[in-house]
Amino acid sequence: MCFKEEITKRAKEITEKIVLYLPKEEGYQRTIFSAMNYSIVVGGKRIRPMLMKAVYDMFGGTSDSIYPFMAAIEMIHTYSLVHDDLPAMDNDEYRRGNKTTHAKYGEAMGILAGDALLNYAYEVAIGAFDVDSDNKDSVIRALKVLTQKAGVYGMVGGQVVDVESEKSPESVITREKLDFIYRLKTGALIEASMVIGAVLANASEEDITMVEQIASKIGLAFQIQDDILDVVSTFEELGKPIGSDEKNNKETYVTFEGIEKSREDLKKLTDEAIDMLHSFGKDDKFLEQLFVYLVYRNK
């Protein structure tokens, strides 16, 4: 089986697991249940739960407590997209060829479905205490990581600074501010995914710290590739107008560093992350391939 098939298979398995945690579409609230489920089911590649599980497996985790956290991180990622797509934010009617949640269910339901998914993520994650009652301290720590990386010192913080920069044309994005946005908006949930995998598998403190550094490098490389693709892709490959960052006068890694230096930096970050990964001396073959797949993707 080639690697592309392997991740398609894993994404399908993850989706099947996540769906088990979704609310049944019944009762007076069935519209919101339907909107929540729609948002999750049309969603994508399950990168975050896949990273979480791969790290968990690498460190020898065996409990089912990982599944509620895999579902939770995908719900948090999804709610952030649902709210990002709203008219007052990016105002997107379509995402990956499907109607966005507010386009399908109306704006009020888009807001409430996002709220519901965020809250439900924690409702589900807290269920891990019942699954793995001998490992409460790890579950508590995983919850702390999740709330911090998802919140105003993590993903939401990055979104805020990004939105503010876009909406105020006079505000100059410095290189430092761009790094901040990338680290929080994209990086924080990737860090949460991988760190939670390590925490729940009871990895050592040193290993958890190193996992966070690896995740940080991969998160940044992932975002640099996004910027590179915006410049070099064909419309077919990317599924959105090429050069849209440039057209929007948006500062990106590429506008700061140029395309060649961006490619070099991406390769350097990825090589460093993979070297650090190897230093664990574990079976890291899948994770290494997943990193390479993510940062060198062509769309």
The site for its own copies (CB under 8 A) is made up of 23, 28-29, 31-33, 36, 79, 83, 86-89, 106-112, 114-116, 118-120, 122-123, 126, 129, 136, 140, 143-144, 147-148, 150-153, 156-157, 159-161, 163-164, 167, 177, 180
Cβ nearer to its own copies, comparing 41 with 140: 140
Residue matched to tokens 């080639």:
2
Among candidates 229, 254, 257, which has minimal Cα distance to 241? 229
CB of 29 to its own copies, least distance (A): 4
Cβ nearer to its own copies, comparing 18 with 295: 18
CB of 24 to its own copies, least distance (A): 11
Query: Cβ(225)–Cβ(208) under 8 Å?
Result: no
CB of 137 to its own copies, least distance (A): 8
What tokens appear for 285 in the block?
């073959």
Cβ nearer to its own copies, comparing 69 with 291: 69
Residues 6+ apart with CB under 8 A from 39: 78, 79, 81, 82, 101, 113, 117
Cβ nearer to its own copies, comparing 195 with 277: 195
Residue matched to tokens 């979480």:
52
b/e map 243-273, b = 16+ CB within 10 Å: eebeeeeebbbbbebeeeebbeebeebbeeb
Cβ nearer to its own copies, comparing 180 with 286: 180
Residues 6+ apart with CB under 8 A from 106: none
Residue matched to tokens 């894993």:
10
Cβ nearer to its own copies, comparing 21 with 280: 21
Q: Could you give the CA distance from residue 35 to residue 1 in angstroms, rounded to a whole number?
A: 35
Cβ nearer to its own copies, comparing 162 with 245: 162
CB of 27 to its own copies, least distance (A): 8
CB of 146 to its own copies, least distance (A): 9
Secondary structure letter of residue 151 according to DSSP: S
Q: Could you give the CA distance from residue 82 to residue 127 in angstroms, rounded to a whole number?
A: 24
CB of 277 to its own copies, least distance (A): 29
Handedness of CA 243, 248, 253, 258 (dihedral sign): positive
CB of 236 to its own copies, least distance (A): 32
